[in-house]
Structure 1
Amino acid sequence: MDCRACGKKGHIERACRNKKSSEKLSKTVKQKDTSQKKKYVYAVEQESTEVSDSSEEEVILKILTVAGGTQGYYVSPLLEGQPVRMEIDTGAAVSIVSESIYKKTLKHLTLKPGHIVLKTYTGESVAVRGITTVTVQLNGQTEKLPLYVVKGNYPSLLGRSWLEKINIDWPSVRTMKHGDTGLPALLEKHGEVFNGELGSMKNITVKLNIKPDSKPKLMKARPVPYVIRPKVEADLDALVNNKVLEPVTVSEWATPIVPVLKKDGGIRICGDFKGTLNPVLLVEQYPLPHIEDLFASLAGGQKFSKIDLCQAYLQMHVDEKSKKSY
């Protein structure tokens, strides 16, 4: 009997040793090809940032500019003895300044035509006014480095071509500096707002109107679980100290409380008025505006503010007659 795999006699294809060795060899070759492909996929081709002034061939280099984005890292090197604030940008192949900076600080330097095309990270072309060589001083280092002058309102960027020649003191660049923002004066002026105590609305009182001939209703207190009783008592004491509640010995109305656990582990004390006041209360109906109406009223606005009152309902005062009756 002849083997179908190798053609030799004396064994069958399933027991052929030559077939197993060839399959193993083929599998090894495939694995090598796969590993080579993976290495090729993850390989990074280094981009040359050196540009010859005499070359007439245009080279497209990406420069990264951030307008109103995240806060970057800045240094203030001396360009021809004058400080210029520049953003450190490792995404920029070259260093650039705007035409306004050139006219203000470097106008004595002659510009040569730069045979280079600059583009932002969004692909927009940046018009180049020219290239010059400046004396750069930073951290005790002095170098003669190429600088591109661009038209338009672009930030001054310190690119990779300068980073290869000048060492940056990165610890000092990343250090946060305290500046006078005026916030301490504002906090001192309105200190009562930030003292952590409960506020109080002025010139606003809540009046509860009940139906005529309604009889007062007094309900007994409900038992409070022992596990939260200390928290409930502490919260009631805090409400009394903040003058939200006023202790009384006799009242015609009494509503049981409902303690609600908050996410922070505290207690919110609510009143269950559905069996006492709500059935006889004359409720003032007020239509809530639609979201479209709110947006229409905000149209054309330029400045918006948001107010978040801490426990806003507890800051509202109840009318004296409503206090005594209910």
Structure 2
Amino acid sequence: MKARCFYCKRLGHIASACDRKSKKQHQVADLAEEAKTGHVEDMMGVYVCSESHAPPIKAEVTIDGATVTMEVDSEASRTIISAATYRHLWIKPPPLRPKNFKLVTYSREALQVLGATYVHVTLGNKEAQCELFVVSGEGPSLLGRSWFKALDLQVTNK
């Protein structure tokens, strides 16, 4: 029997030898959601599949008065920004509350959650108070499902 890569799902190699892994994307899933459903597949829905791919869907979001470009990510359970973005977004950043659960990338690599804070968010004509998670390092800001209802966002197959 041949090995199946947990990263790209192809047969013939394992994730540590995957040539597609170098094109990693910063997508999160909530381990608590996985535990509820019992399906690992729920958090592994996006793959780097070919040379040509659709560019990310981006949205200009105002967070506490500052404009941030975020990738809309329907597979991300939470909305996140990197520590680098957090430091640059505010003159005096709001304090972060510790969170006691883990976020992982779609390839199951753990993200270091620095904490969360509530922010005032505006997207188009919608405004809301939403919880924003800050993770260590650098990476794209992801507008995850945790903000969809508050900002009236929907994913459809039209």
| Counterpart check, 1:125 vs 2:98 | no
Residue 147 (structure 2) aligned to one of 158, 162, 165: 162
Aligned to 1:152: 137
Aligned to 1:139: 124
For residues 63 and 110 of structure 2, the distance between their equivalents in structure 1, rounded to whole angstroms, comes to 26
| Counterpart check, 1:84 vs 2:68 | yes
For residues 84 and 147 of structure 1, the distance between their equivalents in structure 2, rounded to whole angstroms, comes to 13
Q: Secondary structure at the match of 2:108?
A: coil
TM-score, with structure 2 as normaliser: 0.63
Q: Deviations over 1:21-44 (max 9, x none)?
A: xxxxxxxxxxxxxxxxxxxxxxxx
Q: CA deviation at 1:152?
A: 1.6
Higher-Rg structure is 1
Q: Deviations over 1:128-186 (max 9, x none)?
A: 1110000001112110000000012221000111001112499xxxxxxxxxxxxxxxx
For residues 137 and 63 of structure 1, the distance between their equivalents in structure 2, rounded to whole angstroms, comes to 29
| Counterpart check, 1:72 vs 2:79 | no
For residues 147 and 115 of structure 1, the distance between their equivalents in structure 2, rounded to whole angstroms, comes to 15
Q: Secondary structure at the match of 2:116?
A: strand
Q: Deviations over 1:274-310 (max 9, x none)?
A: xxxxxxxxxxxxxxxxxxxxxxxxxxxxxxxxxxxxx
Q: Which amino acid aligns with 1:95?
A: T
| Alignment check: 8 A CA contact 1:60 1:116 kept | no
CA 1:102–1:133: 2 relative to 1, 3 Å? same
Consecutive unaligned residues in structure 1, runs of 5 or more:
1-50, 52-57, 171-326
Matches within 5 A, 1:265-280: none
| Superposed CA RMSD | 2.8
Q: Secondary structure at the match of 1:77?
A: strand
For residues 70 and 90 of structure 1, the distance between their equivalents in structure 2, rounded to whole angstroms, comes to 15
Q: CA deviation at 1:84?
A: 0.3
| Alignment check: 8 A CA contact 1:95 1:148 kept | yes
| Alignment check: 8 A CA contact 1:64 1:89 kept | no
CA 1:111–1:66: 2 relative to 1, 3 Å? farther
Aligned to 1:59: 32
**Structure with the bigger percentage of helix:** 1
Residue 93 (structure 2) aligned to one of 88, 98, 108: 108
For residues 66 and 81 of structure 1, the distance between their equivalents in structure 2, rounded to whole angstroms, comes to 34
For residues 153 and 64 of structure 1, the distance between their equivalents in structure 2, rounded to whole angstroms, comes to 22
Aligned to 1:26: none
Consecutive unaligned residues in structure 2, runs of 5 or more:
1-29, 35-42
Q: Which amino acid aligns with 2:106?
A: Y
Give the share of equivalent positions with the same residue, in percent. 30
Q: Which amino acid aligns with 2:82?
A: S
